[in-house]
Homo-oligomer: A and B are copies of this chain.
Amino acid sequence: MILRQEIAPLLKNPPVGTTVTVMGWVRAWRGNRFMVLNDGSGPETLQVVVDADQFPEEIIRSIGFHACVGATGTLAESQGSGQTVELIASSIQIFGKADLSKYPLQAKAQSMEFLRENAQFRMRTNTFSAVFRIRHAVAYAINKYFHDRGFYYLHTPIITGNDAEGAGEMFRVTTLDPINPPLDEAGKVDYREDFFGKATNLTVSGQLQAEIGALALGKVYTFGPTFRAENSNTSRHLAEFWMIEPEIAFADIENDMDLAEDFVKYLINFCLDNYLPDLEFLDERIQQAEKNLKAELRRPMGLIEMLRFVVQGDFERITYTEAVELILASTPYKKKKFQFPVAWGSDLQAEHERWLVEQHFKKPVIVRNYPKDIKAFYMRLNDDGKTVAAMDILFPYIGEVIGGSQREEREEVLRARMQEMGVHEEELAWYLQLRTFGGAPHAGFGLGFERIVLFITGMGNIRDVIPFPRAPKTADF
């Protein structure tokens, strides 16, 4: 049995004068005397005072950047600046050296790309340990928010025989022989012989199945991995990412917007209330990184300032039609500063969304009632016959963070929309049946987990907020 005290909780109310044992990784080793230890429990470090004369030289020589060390001693008020308490070591245990002549990481800052390639060590850096603690915080807040409000967590399938939603390119899942698959009479792959007896793919969304849950348990949410086989090698796309999809019965688009706004504010408040030291570190990091940039390239607000700004007021709510009118009347439009055209019926581009949020309203914006032709078949047709009860929440920096809709609960309208959009009825017979028998108005939305973690941490690349990113030609670890 190994006994130790964790540093972050220890420093909350340090028992000065008592003997404690801590174990962690050396963040700094100063003057062969001051060993700064972090154990991952938080961003906090504990300074361990090591009297080199009292320990074998082998021990002293083993202490160094990212070596793993245990120390037992008395907790004392600190003499130095920068910390309130320190540990006067009476015994030291070396768990694992980290020979700096061979260790990939070095004490100086290294590029994000390099750290990504060395993901077995990047969580030991101050930046990434903070990022992944915040990632945890957001995940926990999601579960807590829904649980406290009577939602049930529903695991929708990862492997699916549906390819009806058409949300994107899919990865095939198979156990057939990769070179000589069985073929049917028509010379096509005979998926009847595959593991599941049919062609299967990795899910792009759990929404359709979540509707089953909502129309029985009332309020459910999914929180699981989703996949896109799109060849997008950008700082905004992942091939594997996590998504949250709440779905509620007896709800319209108004209930949906209220829930989404309250939910996303809760997540940010949870981090501000419980993980401030990590956010402060990440805030400081951005300021350091932007120090040498021209003023106009710097963020207009600090990280924490921006998070507080987002949660403090109501989000602006406008219709798609109003959004188009605002953009058409805007200065950048008139001065031809937008790259993409704007016209009623086409999707808003990132540059338009950012103008609305960052320049015009200067707050998050919920746009609703999009043209039906640019939205999915399951979104509820509005009385105008032209728009659907869909809504997107747009944030500064990252653009769309949430997309949702009231679902079409009227069987005949849904059937017509499916035909219009080329969705095969027979594949989604069960989905139509949810309307035939005991249906109800219902609504939901999707939140891209990495999107909100990107926003809250202020990181620049979505690959840096997931422990092991998957992207084209990238599936290390």
Partner-B contacts on A (CB < 8 A): 1-2, 4, 6, 8-9, 23-25, 39-41, 66-68, 70, 95-99, 102-104, 119-121, 123-124, 128-129, 132-133, 135-136, 139-140, 143-144, 147, 150, 152-162, 169, 171-176, 178-179, 181, 183, 187-189, 195-198, 200, 202, 209, 212-213, 215-219, 224-225, 227, 229, 231, 239-240, 242, 249-252, 254-255, 258, 409, 430-431, 433-441, 466-468, 470, 472-477
Known contacts A437-B103, A438-B98, A475-B161; A242/B155 CB under 8 A: yes
- Assess whether B140 is in contact with A147, with CB atoms less than 8 Å apart: yes
With both chains docked as a complex, state the minimum distance between the C-beta of A28 and any C-beta of chain B, in angstroms. 14
- Assess whether A440 is in contact with B250, with CB atoms less than 8 Å apart: no
* A96-B436 Cα distance, complex, nearest whole Å: 7
* A39-B248 Cα distance, complex, nearest whole Å: 11
- Assess whether A179 is in contact with B178, with CB atoms less than 8 Å apart: no
Q: Kindly identify which residue among B129, B212, B258 contacts A216, using a CB–CB cutoff of 8 Å.
A: B129
- Assess whether A468 is in contact with B173, with CB atoms less than 8 Å apart: no
With both chains docked as a complex, state the minimum distance between the C-beta of A266 and any C-beta of chain B, in angstroms. 16
* A476-B430 Cα distance, complex, nearest whole Å: 10
- Assess whether B119 is in contact with A212, with CB atoms less than 8 Å apart: yes
Q: Closest 3 interchain pairs by CB?
A: A96-B439, A123-B216, A40-B217
Known contacts A159-B240, A440-B95; A152/B132 CB under 8 A: yes
Chain B residue nearest in CB terms to A122: B216
Q: Kindly identify which residue among B68, B172, B224 contacts A174, using a CB–CB cutoff of 8 Å.
A: B172
* A24-B67 Cα distance, complex, nearest whole Å: 59
- Assess whether A217 is in contact with B129, with CB atoms less than 8 Å apart: yes
- Assess whether A23 is in contact with B212, with CB atoms less than 8 Å apart: no
Return 27 A-B CB contacts under 8 Å, by A number. A1-B252, A1-B255, A1-B258, A2-B250, A2-B255, A4-B250, A6-B218, A9-B150, A41-B217, A66-B437, A68-B440, A95-B438, A119-B430, A120-B434, A124-B215, A132-B154, A133-B217, A139-B143, A140-B153, A155-B242, A157-B470, A161-B476, A178-B181, A179-B181, A196-B239, A196-B473, A197-B475
- Assess whether A157 is in contact with B468, with CB atoms less than 8 Å apart: yes
With both chains docked as a complex, state the minimum distance between the C-beta of A433 and any C-beta of chain B, in angstroms. 6
Q: Kindly identify which residue among B24, B178, B433 contacts A189, using a CB–CB cutoff of 8 Å.
A: B178
- Assess whether A196 is in contact with B154, with CB atoms less than 8 Å apart: no
* A171-B172 Cα distance, complex, nearest whole Å: 10
Q: Kindly identify which residue among B197, B252, B409 contacts A473, using a CB–CB cutoff of 8 Å.
A: B197
- Assess whether A66 is in contact with B132, with CB atoms less than 8 Å apart: no
- Assess whether B251 is in contact with A120, with CB atoms less than 8 Å apart: no
Q: Kindly identify which residue among B25, B181, B251 contacts A2, using a CB–CB cutoff of 8 Å.
A: B251
Known contacts A119-B212, A156-B467, A225-B158; A175/B179 CB under 8 A: no
**Residue from A129, A175, A197 with most neighbouring chain B CB atoms (10 Å):** A175
* A40-B218 Cα distance, complex, nearest whole Å: 5
* A472-B195 Cα distance, complex, nearest whole Å: 6
- Assess whether B123 is in contact with A439, with CB atoms less than 8 Å apart: no
- Assess whether B438 is in contact with A124, with CB atoms less than 8 Å apart: yes
- Assess whether A96 is in contact with B435, with CB atoms less than 8 Å apart: yes
- Assess whether A475 is in contact with B217, with CB atoms less than 8 Å apart: no
With both chains docked as a complex, state the minimum distance between the C-beta of A469 and any C-beta of chain B, in angstroms. 9
